[in-house]
A and B are shown apart, each in its own frame.
Chain A
Amino acid sequence: MKKTLTVLLSLMLICVLFVSCGKKTTETSSSTEKAVAKATKIGFVVINDESDQGYTWNFMNGMNAALEKLKAEGYNIELLVKRNTTESSICKDYNTELAEEGCAVIFNNSYGFEPYMLEAAKEYPDVQFVGMTNCGGQFDNNTNTFNAFASIYEGRYAAGVVAGLKLQEMIDNGKIKADQAVIGYVGAFSFAEVISGMTSYFLGVRSVCPSATMKVYFVGTWGDATLEEAAANALIDKGAVMISQHSDTTSPALAAQKAGVFHTGYNTDMTGAAPNASIVSCRINWEPYFYTFIKNLIDGKKNNPDYTGTMAEGAVLLTEINEKIAAKGTKEKVEKVIEELKSGKRQVFDTSTFTVEGKKLDHAFALDTDGDFTPDKEEAVYDGAFHESKFQSAPYFAIQIDGIEWLNAAF
């Protein structure tokens, strides 16, 4: 007991020492709060940190750009970031803490954060919570929960066009035969987000290279460099001359470069990692969303509980095309496609461009409302196309179309 007492006393001593040092910082921060009228605090809970050079990096870039823009307009915003968050009660704690710190809105950047975020949202009804890449905020009855995604399938399609032009050029030059235009796709999991992305990419390829086919390998994780590399190599062994991916690391690009085949990436420009293989990437630009959301919040305007960023408003982008290896004239052609996508003249999931088990798709539901995880509401097929991200921002196209061969599945 004597020992315990001594430990306690010495600890208290240290605590007192620190608290006395800490006080100064609180005073300075509270005086800056009052200074500006159009000021607020916002919170951001992120899964990795900027050093991942991909997923979280892309989010942080969007956030920083939006804040920069708002600052120029006289809005003073303090950003508090919680990095390296796990998808567990830690996530709830971080949300709670940011709410306690006085944040007006808290953004969460990973799908798995949402259940924990929603728990915190119940306890802080005056704080707004945004689940990015998720879809729960729109369906619960809370007015302080939001979710956001982007129509990345448009970007996938455009990246597919770039890849398809390259494949067609290789066929025209006699480098490969028409039936050798095989794409290898490294996917994370076999569910809607990935299926929607790979299908739109494939349709983009086939719009300019009709003989192309695709093989998909699902690695069952979002970011495992070794597994992704192994998957890419397996696909190359099966004859893939173009690799694409829906996973977080650059290792598929490196595998493609090593094997002398080409690559189209995701989330981030991968030409730095694989300058001789990676042609282009598509990514979501979160800046417009952050900008609008925060501005509306301060100005007292309502925000959309279920936001979908589109190519037309600059929320979906292609990275710089690697001119050194891209097919001739790619830039002009893909710009034309992007224009058509923006104006709505071209539909990504045009039902005349693909078949399902040999038949044209004429019916598919978009939403699952009864929680059995199969869509049961809202007809997505009309006016000659499957309308993705129309009824909710999170992707729901989960159909296996002809021409794409699944080597496995991973849920």
Chain B
Amino acid sequence: MNTNLKMPLIRLAKRDSLKPSVVWAIRIASVVLALLLGMIPIIMAGKNPFVSYGIMIEGALSKPGYIRQTVKRAIPLLGTALAIAPCFKMKFWNIGAEGQITFGAIISSAIAIYLGKSLPSFPLLVLMAVAGAIGGGIWAFIPGYFKAKYNTNETLFTLMMNYIAIGIVRWLQGGPWEGRKGTQMIPMFPDAARLPNVLGIYCGWIIILVLVVIIHVYMNFTKHGYEVAVIGDSENTARYAGMNVGWIMMRTMFLSGAICGIVGWMLVSGANGTLNSDVAGGVGFTAITVAWLSQLNSFAMVVIAAMLAVIGKGSATLQTKLSVPASVADIISGVLLFCMLGCEFFINYKIILRGKSDKEVQ
């Protein structure tokens, strides 16, 4: 009795690893739970939840045109998840992908605006890609440098860098790059600076799929990838093994930012055709969820990014067809992400209630 009184009501304990079948059962259960919970706001909006879910899937996948748009949504999501994966593996919390995409997009746009009329399309696009990668890389290198040299907090640093990059675009939009006075808009790029379409979608999807393989190899089969993994597990071990931790951090951040920059390049040159302050549009943050849910496995990222794109496109259709408020669709995707991330917790920990100390719940 006495020991029970002092015991907290709920205790958490690390689980021994579960059988994969159990792990996947929990994951699937979490999705089902999310779908059930998602029905609540739909019912509250006075709609049939089964019909609604049907419309979401239909709106995302039922016509070639819809699939194209879904893929278009998935491209930056997947690219950015790939970009931040090495950082997260290193336990370097880079939440500045948004800014790195934006800054890459700025540098890339500068090439399109100043050289767009004088260069032929192919070299122009390559130059834009390289410029975008360098731009994004520099934007990520700065917090990497400060973390390595002065041990600054990378979470805050990368976050703040986002707002600076977005601010720069706002200034360019209303200032030096503005088209018609007062429009706050940068004119569309010349055709030479636009990525060609393959199968009706700008060819960025091919580049991203190649990147999936490259990142997979980089993370699992190269010395760099190994170093990143060691630092992620224990910085001291890495140091003891003679690795230059600071240098590896800066290098990995530059790489991460460079891939974000390439995403930025594809967004301005492929998706949008011009630059605006909304270019990243929250992708940098959603990609964190993608990377995390797929446990930094680049092939799993393809699936998760596709799934989020389906939800995103589906909710846009849901909004139109059933005229449910946009926020309902947002709630559904929020609930889904919450449950999916939450289930990882139950996979790694068990809950022990007071008085039942030996029996596990969930």
Residues of A that sit less than 8 Å from B by CB:
1-4, 6-8, 10-11, 14-15, 18-26, 49, 80-84, 86-90, 93-94, 96-98, 100, 111-112, 115, 119, 189-194, 220, 368, 373, 410-411
Contact = CB atoms under 8 A, between A and B. Distances in A.
A53 to B, nearest CB: 15
A49 B325 contact: yes
Contacts of B267: 89
A21 B50 contact: yes
A15 B28 CA distance: 13
Given A25-B58, A49-B326, A82-B319, 15 more contacts: A3-B297, A18-B53, A18-B54, A19-B62, A21-B50, A22-B54, A25-B51, A83-B319, A97-B66, A97-B69, A97-B320, A112-B183, A189-B184, A191-B181, A373-B179
Contacts of B55: 22, 25
22 contacts: A6-B24, A10-B24, A10-B28, A15-B57, A21-B51, A22-B53, A22-B58, A25-B51, A25-B55, A49-B325, A49-B326, A80-B320, A88-B276, A89-B267, A93-B72, A100-B63, A100-B66, A190-B182, A193-B182, A373-B181, A410-B174, A411-B182
Nearest to A374: B181
B272 interface: yes
Contacts of A119: 188, 273
A97 B65 contact: yes
Interface stretch (B123-131, B132-140, B299-307): B299-307
A96 B53 contact: no
B281 interface: yes
B181 A87 contact: no
Contacts of B57: 15, 18-19, 22
Interface string B286-310: 0000000000010110011001000
B180 interface: yes
B28 A4 contact: no
B8 interface: no
B184 A18 contact: no
B325 to A, nearest CB: 7
A82 B320 contact: yes
A1 B302 CA distance: 12
Contact of B31 (A14, A83, A220, A410): A14
A4 B299 contact: yes
B80 interface: no
A11 B27 CA distance: 11
A2 B58 contact: no
Contacts of B233: none
B53 A21 contact: yes
Q: Give me the 6 closest cross-chain CB pairs, A-B, nearest first.
A: A191-B182, A22-B54, A21-B54, A18-B57, A100-B65, A89-B271
A189 B182 contact: yes
B199 to A, nearest CB: 15
B178 interface: yes
A94 B24 CA distance: 36
A96 B69 contact: yes
